[in-house]
Structure formats: C-alpha cells, structure tokens
Amino acid sequence: MPAPTEKYSPDVRLAGRQASNSDKNRRSLIFLGILWFSLLVAFGFLVVLLVTTFLDGIGRYDSRLFTNYNNTTPEDAGARAGILGSIMVIAVTALMAIPIGIGAALYLEEFSRKDRWYNRLFELNIQNLSAVPAILYGLLTLGLMGALGFKERNIVFGGALALALLILPVIIITTREALRAVPQEIRDGSLALGATQWQTAWRQTLPAALPGISTGTILALSRAMGEAAPLLLLGVAVYITYDPNGLTSGFTTMPIQIFNWTSAPQEEFKTLAAATSILLLSILLAMNGIAIYIRNRFAKRW
C-alpha cells in the first residue's frame, strides 16, 4: 500500500502547510531555520565531497587510467583490471541475485500463507539479513568457498557470490514492496477470468510491478558495485595485470584499487585513487539516475 498521503495530498496535507500568523513568530522561524540548516549540512557534505574528489583526481583522469594495469610506478599505473573486474563481477552478481531475489519475493508476496510459522521466519530473517554488516558476508563466502573445495578464493565467482549474498535481501525487500503496490483488483480480475495463480503472478502482477522492481534492483547493484569490504576477505590481489576472462579468473575491482591506492604513502597514488573515484562515482550516479528516472517515468499510480 503506498502511503495514503501521496494520493490525496491536496486536502490531506494543505491544512498543515498553510502558514498562518502564528507561524511567523520568532521561535517558529528559528525552528524552521534549524530544519533548513540540517538539510544544508547534508547537501553541503555531498557537494564538498564530489568537488574535492573531482579536483583531486581530474589531473590523472586520462587514458592511462583506462588502458594501464596497476604498477609500482604511479605514472604508469592504471585501473584497467579494476574497471573490467568490476563490470564482470557485477554482471555475474546480477545473474545470481536477481532471479533468486525475485523468486523469493514472489513466493512471499503472492503464494505464501501468512499464518504459517516458517513464512514469518523467512520475513523476520530477511529483514535481519538486510542489516548484517557487509564484511560478514565476506567471512561467510570465505567459509563457503572452502566448503565448495575452491583452492583459489580470489576468483570472479567468489567475489560475485559474496556480493550476491549481500544484495539478495535488498532485492527481495524492494521487489516485495513493488508487488505489494499492485492493487488486489488486478489479481482478482485475472483469477476471475480463469487464469491460474501462477499465470496471474507471471502475466499480470509481475509486469505491473516491473518498474518498481527495476528501480530497486539497479540501486542494489550500484550498492554492490561500490562495496569493497566483503571482497577484501577473499584476499583480493591488487596487482592483477591481466583482464578477468572467466568465472575462475583472478580479479580486482575499482573500490579495491581505490582503497589500496588511498593507503599508499605516495601522493601520486592518492591522486590515482581520486581519479578512479571520479569514474566509479560517475557510473554509480548514472545508475542512480536511471533508477530514479524509471521510478518517475514508468511507475504507475493506481
């Protein structure tokens, strides 16, 4: 259910919004000033962070960043392995997390009986999983890779597994919200015309919820793309000098490279970290923008 206030904003909210004379006394204005200041601080930090990162890194944002591998001499170092690694790992993460996440959400929202204890357990558990620190998913993956018999842990499959586990709860939660926003009448209509439950879910509910699901999924993937903590535990090597070329290939990602270069003592490496941050931020901002566009453009208001 979307918040009722969204739909009926004119009469529901106006009452509280119109400023009367009693809202213009000094205390009210100071209070409003404090609220404005809070927002200003948050936006100020955002702007300063983006600007300083840009100014720090723009001098090194050149072709070497894209074509060169990491190197001990800062002038020759680049993030090629990290860029390709990030793209590859996120693609595999998406393939693992999206089908399972949507499947779980469909089950919980469309098919599960709420009175069964195990369904309540699933829900509580998913809520809890979404707040488990990212780094613990790294420890889990470390254990899993050992149990599955992989000797090399720093491989594309391992990284994607860690990130898929990390974003699975996020995808399930946002998909459920999107499914819940589809009105019951659409399901009833489909069922009344003789469609089965699965046909209803697959041909009516899921397509109707698709904009919301896409938005949530893109945001989850962008979170995975910026995450470094769980990958550190796989012992990700920072001196990868080849392109990742398969599920069992060694890899590094942009966030790992940024972390490594930030910790390096030479100033030139810090500049390189900022340059890679510019690229990473541009990609993530683009993904966020697409997600917001989909939400505003395609989301139906029932």
Exactly one of 62, 146, 239, 300 binds another protein (CB under 8 A); that residue is 146
Which C-beta is closer to another protein: that of 3 or that of 246? 3
**Residue 134 in contact with another protein, rule: CB under 8 A:** yes
Which C-beta is closer to another protein: that of 1 or that of 73? 1
CB-based contact 92:163 (threshold 8 Å): no
Residue 250 DSSP one-character state: B
**Contacts (CB under 8 A) with another protein, residues 212-231:** 219, 222-223, 225-229
Q: Which stretch binds another protein (CB under 8 A): 58-66, 103-111, 205-213, 240-248?
A: 103-111
Burial 74-109 (b: 16+ CB within 10 A, else e): beebbbbbbbbbbebbbebbbebbbeebbebbbebb
**Contacts (CB under 8 A) with another protein, residues 154-193:** 165, 168-169, 172, 184-185, 187-188, 191-192
Phi, then psi, of 291 in degrees rounded to 5: -60, -45
Which C-beta is closer to another protein: that of 55 or that of 245? 55
Exactly one of 59, 95, 111, 242 binds another protein (CB under 8 A); that residue is 111
**Residue 31 in contact with another protein, rule: CB under 8 A:** yes
CB-based contact 286:210 (threshold 8 Å): no
**Contacts (CB under 8 A) with another protein, residues 254-293:** 255, 258-259, 262-263, 270, 273-274, 277, 280-281, 284-285, 288, 292
**Residue 91 in contact with another protein, rule: CB under 8 A:** no
Alpha-carbon distances, residue 238 vs 46, 48, 149 (angstroms): 29, 29, 24
DSSP H helices, 71-155, are 80-106, 117-129, 134-147
Please report how close the Cβ of residue 107 comes to another protein at its closest, in angstroms: 4
Alpha-carbon distances, residue 300 vs 138, 211, 258 (angstroms): 38, 8, 40
